[in-house]
Amino acid sequence: MHTIALVGNPNSGKTTLFNALTGSTAYVGNWPGVTVEKKEGMTNGHKILDLPGIYSLSPYSPEEKISRRYILDEQPDLIIDVIDATNLERSLYLSTQLAELGRPLLLVLNMEDLLIKDGIAIDTKRLSQMFGTPVVQISATKKTGIDELKEQIEQSLANPQTPPCPLFSSSIERKLTTLIEDDYLHDIPQGRQMRWAAIKLLEGDELFLETMPPIPPELNTYLEETRAHLEELYDDDVESIIVDQRYKVAEKLARESLVRQEVKAKRFTFDVIATHRIWAIPLFILIMSGVFFLSVGVVGGGTTPLLEGFFESLAEWVTVKGESWQIHPFLIGILSDGIIAGVGAVLTFVPQLFILFLLLSILEDCGYMARIAFIMDRQMRSMGLSGKSIIPLVIGTGCTVPAIMSTRTIEHQKQRELTIIVTPFIPCGAKMPIFALMLTYFFQNKWYMAPLMYVMGILAVITTGLLARAIDRHKETNAFILELPRYQMPSPKSVWRQTKDRTLGFIYKAGTIILLASILIYLLSSYSFAFKTVDAEESMLAIMGRVIAPIFIPLGFGFWQAAVALLTGIAAKETIVSTLSVVIGTSSLTNFFDPAGALAFMTFILLSSPCVAAMAAMLKELDSKRKFLFAVVWQFGFAYVVSLLVRCIVLIIV
């Protein structure tokens, strides 16, 4: 079996191509850094890997180190270099580095459709001649050229050829030749190209030198002399000279293969207002409010009561029919008060989540996300975060897990950790049902309550950020460099696929975790420890719930039902809704909570630790038990204190 690696700049469409080749449905979006982990798939019997996007093979950035190590250590049988054809120069700069790794290389010019739109044409034959590798032009989104690409993959695998290395100016080439002839490089590890090794040696690349035996003194003297000579000649350090040389090669390749370039008149674009000095931030707030108004308000408001009614009558129907068919009351109970009440309570929210996921996918696909990072950077920085932190926060309104994963594009470690800690404060889609449920019974006709929950989440992010910044003694500044991709019409196919996957994921949870939890909760609340049918008040669940319930007395929900609901919420947040429906029954909620307690309950859920999947993502991304523990304790403590405050305020005001 052959191994193929997809390599290329961020946002060049590697994952879209990966999906087109393998028929899978991996997560795609239009901002640099959607893919943060390598993904494996199969195409035509070959193993194919989708690697995170990189701009270079420098020894500084973690993704670049990973990709470089992967290619050198795993020796894929073919590297497919995915190139954003509208960004030829910068893409070819990476290609010049890939060509030196000694693996067969295939250039794929992606985004053919955008090229045509721009009135640009690339002479692929000429590029192939000059660069010395096969070149295929495709559009991964529109699925053009995929068959030719598959054919070329087979040819390249059947007849593997390492590409020629691009040549630099003669003063550097002479030095490289001397280095290649030196005995030292004859011991380089298997698979390393001589020329590549010579360049790394000249640059003094730390990662490369770690893998090599110590440099003999004579060679070291030669290297130092050479570096000094070149530095004087080019008035720059050797590493920069090499970058410069590579870009010269890329420039030449791009210049000579571009055959037609019509200059188009600038049209009014969305960008004028999206990044407008005054209107950009109001527009962002408006867009996000619109997303929630449409999903929760319009669609949720319309469908939730209907579905609630449906599940209620279904439960009733089952009870009546069950009794007439003389089915054991135990089974009827499990079915109507356990499964239908629990799972139904969660399924009620499918339509509004579908709309939420749909709108978020459109935002992710159109290129707006990177602009939000651009316009919000200044504000985020004053809270110790980076402009890039806003992307996880927006994704977090859908689901916290991918949001936490997406923090990987934040270069600065401290800012990244802080972003991971605050992202769960943004209520995810699964917390929405809880708020909706409580609002229906306690704050009807108070339209401002739902937005208030989001505002509180945002305030929690800001407070934590400001505190972290105040405590941090070394206020180091760091780089914020982000490519702004082109806007594009979201592809209906990919938007639909992502929306469908996320919605089905939610329904799947309802059919598995929630179903099991509902049955379990029903059983535990119907039996005592002696396995006798008892009143809920004496059930196993009540006894267990009473152990932790006292903690919540100050918050106004110190009864066992709430404690149990919160506990089951650890599995998945929407379980809180199903548990409450099973142990209390939604219509009796008002007998248990007073409005102040209800609001405190919502606040506590909003801010306290997320579900187990999100916690696992936090642990993995923080990569430190101590930091993870801190994050969880902070979230819990913060939630507790704020909920207490909220309750006191409501009690005083009302």
Task: Name the site residues for other proteins (rule: CB under 8 A).
Answer: 55-56, 58, 60-61, 86-90, 93, 236, 239-240, 243-244, 247, 275-278, 280-281, 370, 373-375, 377-379, 387, 477, 479-484
> Tokens at residue 252, please?
């030449």
71: Cβ contacts below 8 Å, ≥ 6 apart: 5, 7, 79, 98, 101, 103
Nearer to other proteins, 157 or 484 (CB): 484
Residues 590 and 440 sit within 8 Å (Cβ to Cβ) = no
- Closest to 407 (Cα-Cα) out of 397, 395, 398: 395
88/99 with CB nearer other proteins? 88
What is the token pair recorded at 40?
Answer: 């494996």
* Structure tokens belonging to residue 284: 């962002």
Compare residues 375 and 646 and give the one whose CB is closer to other proteins: 375
- CA distances (Å), 401 to each of 25, 424, 428, 598, 606, in order? 17, 9, 10, 27, 16
Q: Which two tokens stand for residue 205?
A: 């690349």
488, two tokens: 């594009």
* Residue closer to other proteins (CB basis): 267 or 277: 277
Spatial separation of the C-alpha atoms in residues 343 and 433, rounded to whole Å:
12
Q: Whose CA is closest to 372, among 398, 401, 395, 399? A: 395
CB of 86 vs other proteins, minimal distance in Å: 8
Query: At closest approach, how far in Å is the CB of 377 from other proteins?
Result: 5
Residue 394 vs 613, nearer CB to other proteins: 394
Residue 326 CB contacts under 8 Å (≥ 6 apart), including other chains? none
> Phi and psi for 396 in degrees, rounded to 5?
-60, -20
Q: How far is the CB of 8 from other proteins (least distance, A)?
A: 14
* CB 221, min distance to other proteins, A: 23
CB of 120 to other proteins, least distance (A): 10
Single-letter residue type at 217: P
Q: How far is the CB of 455 from other proteins (least distance, A)?
A: 20
- Closest contact distance (angstroms) between CB of 108 and other proteins is 18
**Residue 328 vs 475, nearer CB to other proteins:** 475
Q: At closest approach, how far in Å is the CB of 207 from other proteins?
A: 13
Angle of the 515-526 helix axis to the 560-568 helix axis, nearest 10: 150
Give the residue with the Cβ less far from other proteins, 113 or 483.
483
Smallest distance, other proteins to C-beta of residue 633, A = 33
For residue 106, list its beta bridge partners. Answer: 80
3-state secondary structure of 49: strand
Between 55 and 560, name the residue whose CB sits nearer to other proteins: 55
Nearer to other proteins, 113 or 236 (CB): 236
DSSP-derived secondary structure for 376-428: HHHHHHTTT--GGGHHHHHHTTT-HHHHHHGGGG--SHHHHHHHHHHGGGSPP
Least distance to other proteins, CB of residue 203, Å: 10
Q: CB 278 → other proteins: shortest distance, Å?
A: 7
Q: Which is nearer to other proteins, 61 or 124 (CB)?
A: 61
Continuous segment of H or E residues that includes residue 260: strand 258-261
The neighbour count for residue 278, using CB atoms within 10 Å, is 8
State which residue, 313 or 413, has the beta carbon closest to other proteins: 413
Pair of tokens at residue 390: 């806003």
Whole-number minimum distance, CB 265 to other proteins, in Å? 17
Burial of 186 (0-12, 13-18, 19+ CB in 10 A): exposed
Say whether 144 sits in a helix, a strand or coil.
strand
Write the DSSP string, 309-352.
Answer: HHHHHHHHHHHHHHHHTT--HHHHHIIIIIIIHHHHHHHTTHHH
Q: Measure the CA–CA gap between 232 and 241, rounded to whole angstroms.
A: 11
Q: What tokens were used for 555?
A: 């918050």
Q: How far apart are CA 539 and CA 541, in angstroms?
A: 5
Q: How far is the CB of 280 from other proteins (least distance, A)?
A: 5
- Least Cα distance to 503 among 294, 350, 400, 401 occurs for 350
Minimal CA–CA distance to 280: which of 177, 363, 375? 375
Q: Three-class SS of residue 444?
A: coil
Nearer to other proteins, 411 or 538 (CB): 411
Closest CA to 594 of 550, 551, 559, 618: 559
**For residue 329, what are its two tokens?**
């009351």
Rounded (10°) CA dihedral 373, 379, 383, 387: 10
Q: Which is nearer to other proteins, 328 or 378 (CB)?
A: 378
Strand runs labelled E in 30-161:
39-43, 46-50, 78-84, 105-110, 120-122, 135-137
Nearer to other proteins, 481 or 653 (CB): 481
By beta-carbon proximity to other proteins, the closer residue of 86 and 561 is 86
Q: Min. distance of Cβ 68 from other proteins in angstroms?
A: 13
The distance of Cα 381 from the centroid of its chain, to the nearest Å, equals 21
Q: How far is the CB of 236 from other proteins (least distance, A)?
A: 7
Nearest distance, CB of residue 463 and other proteins, angstroms: 21
Nearer to other proteins, 112 or 574 (CB): 112
